[in-house]
């Protein structure tokens, strides 16, 4: 049974890489009958953003990945962290360091000049027989942990395999600032232990933090969880993903007309696969996902693949669901007697909910202007007379016109009897009904609009001479 977490910092909105991390953590917990927990890492008061917290929680609600426990806020757990800092000080595993910022800067400069890796030199580290400097006045100390001076820090990474770091790569790093506030690596280790984490899935940009966190686990006698460090998501050129490439606020995907199922399906494949399978329901993800099979190499964001997936889900979710989703875009089909027919028709071409809304509005809204290029091409001498004859045919059969096949049954003979080609009739009708030439089948549009509205729009176009000057 795996207990996993996602722990964003509320300094910005939840982005696509963060959501993938959360998805993988959620799937592994649920697959093993465990728990997925959400923690907000908000100890940095200077950078925290209340709106970002709301957006993060809103994103998790939208994609349907709730926390299995009350959401933890690190800012409410400061007393817990201070208790463990005091414990480490009392046990001699941490100590107070009075080195000033100027002294630290000078030390770093000298190390860099000597082409050494910058690191704390242990000036204030208590050692047997060592005389510490005199405590300076007016300097509030930071708290540093005693890191091992020799040996190796090793762990088995579920993605990268065995990882080994020389202990001297980790200096006596700060675990609490001079103002008493604990720092990131310390609180993460404390929280992951107290929240019962068995597995920590995160981006490989956190790999360098892991040895430090293991030092903390060991100092406090905590069990070390299993780590999985996942390669980042790159843009198609292999560079860091930018907002232009898709690394935007997750909720922007909703505003752009994506369904959450499509986004999750897209993300699960950015770093993991099951053969050539592309379409995954949540049930299939839960059945098949295993973090031990996460790819070792970075994945590439593919906007076209996301659109393709979104189009698939738009076609396959229920019309009732689509109608509900469209309300977010101020498209309300409630009570429309041709709602099913309208959605069945328009969703076949739509890649996003915005495209679906536009296709629906293109049919339902009375055109206020007509495509000039299409009018010039298809409205010729004799077109108006032909349309009037066609309206007379519709009038004579109006009581039997309900579905698209009803319109087709009387229109095909009309085309044949008048020696017409299909575009000669259909394109002027499309322009009259929708203002353009790219709408769906005329039979479907007329069935949705009904005889009276079809007649009204064609007569209106005729009276305006299709907008010709």
Enumerate the known binding-site residues for ATP: 243
User: Measured between alpha carbons, how far is 394 from 407 in angstroms, rounded to an integer?
Assistant: 8
- Which residues have a Cβ under 8 Å from the Cβ of 435 and sit 6 or more positions away? 362, 367, 368, 369, 370, 371
Q: Using the structure block, give the residue that is written with the tokens 């076949």.
A: 348
In a 13 Å sphere around the CA of 453, the CA atoms on its Cβ side amount to 14
- Which residues have a Cβ under 8 Å from the Cβ of 53 and sit 6 or more positions away? 10, 40, 42
- Which residues have a Cβ under 8 Å from the Cβ of 252 and sit 6 or more positions away? none
Can you state the percent helix, strand and coil of the chain, rounding each to 5? 50, 10, 40
Binding residues: 243
User: Measured between alpha carbons, how far is 272 from 201 in angstroms, rounded to an integer?
Assistant: 13
- Which residues have a Cβ under 8 Å from the Cβ of 318 and sit 6 or more positions away? none
Query: What six digits make up the tokens of 67?
Result: 């926390």
Q: Are 11 and 48 in contact (CB under 8 A)?
A: yes
User: Measured between alpha carbons, how far is 435 from 454 in angstroms, rounded to an integer?
Assistant: 13
Q: How far is CA 252 from CA 203, 243, 263, in A?
A: 22, 11, 12
Q: What are phi and psi of 26, to 5 degrees?
A: -65, -45
Q: Are 188 and 246 in contact (CB under 8 A)?
A: no
Measured N-to-C along each axis, helices 383-397 and 404-417 cross at an angle, to the nearest 10 degrees, of: 130
List, as own/partner pairs, every contact residues 102-108 make where C-beta atoms lie below 8 angstroms and the sequence separation is at least 24, other chains included.
none
The one-character DSSP state at 129 is: T
């Amino acid at each position: 049974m795996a207990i996993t977490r996602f722990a964003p910092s509320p300094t910005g909105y939840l982005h696509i890489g963060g959501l993938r991390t959360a998805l993988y953590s959620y799937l592994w917990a649920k697959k093993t009958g465990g728990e997925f927990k959400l923690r907000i890492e908000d100890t940095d008061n200077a950078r925290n953003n209340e709106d970002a917290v709301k957006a993060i929680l809103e994103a998790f609600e939208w994609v349907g990945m709730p926390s299995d426990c009350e959401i933890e806020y690190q800012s409410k757990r400061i007393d817990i962290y201070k208790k463990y800092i005091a414990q480490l000080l009392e046990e001699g595993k941490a100590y107070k360091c009075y080195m000033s910022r100027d002294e630290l800067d000078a030390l770093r400069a000298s190390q860099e000049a000597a082409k050494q890796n910058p690191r704390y030199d242990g000036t204030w580290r208590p050692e047997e027989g060592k005389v510490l400097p005199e405590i300076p006045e007016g300097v509030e100390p930071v708290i540093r942990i005693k890191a091992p001076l020799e040996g190796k820090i090793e762990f088995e990474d579920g993605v990268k395999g065995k990882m080994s770091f020389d202990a001297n790569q980790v200096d006596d790093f700060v675990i609490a600032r001079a103002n008493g506030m604990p720092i990131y690596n310390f609180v993460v280790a404390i929280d992951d232990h107290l929240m019962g984490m068995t597995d920590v899935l995160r981006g490989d940009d956190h790999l360098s933090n892991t040895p430090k966190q293991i030092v903390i686990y060991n100092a406090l006698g905590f069990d070390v969880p299993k780590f999985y460090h996942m390669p980042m998501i790159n843009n198609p050129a292999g560079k860091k993903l930018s907002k232009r490439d898709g690394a935007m606020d997750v909720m922007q995907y909703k505003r752009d007309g994506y369904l959450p199922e499509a986004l999750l399906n897209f993300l699960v494949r950015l770093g993991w696969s099951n053969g050539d399978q592309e379409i995954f329901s949540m049930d299939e993800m839960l059945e098949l996902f295993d973090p031990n099979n996460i790819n070792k190499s970075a994945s590439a964001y593919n906007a076209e693949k996301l659109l393709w997936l979104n189009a698939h889900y738009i076609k396959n979710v229920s019309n009732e669901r689509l109608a509900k989703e469209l309300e977010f875009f101020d498209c309300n089909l409630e009570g429309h007697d041709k709602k099913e027919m309208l959605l069945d028709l328009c969703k076949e071409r739509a890649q996003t909910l915005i495209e679906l809304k536009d296709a629906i509005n293109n049919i339902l809204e009375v055109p206020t202007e007509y495509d000039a290029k299409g009018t010039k091409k298809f409205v010729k001498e004799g077109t108006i007379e032909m349309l009037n004859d066609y309206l007379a045919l519709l009038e004579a059969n109006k009581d039997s016109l309900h579905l698209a096949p009803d319109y087709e049954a009387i229109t095909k003979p009309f085309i044949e009897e008048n020696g017409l080609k299909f575009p000669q009739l259909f394109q002027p009708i499309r322009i009259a009904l929708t203002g353009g030439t790219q709408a769906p089948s005329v039979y479907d549009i007329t069935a949705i609009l009904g005889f009276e509205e079809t007649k009204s729009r064609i007569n209106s176009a005729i009276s305006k001479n299709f907008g010709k000057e």
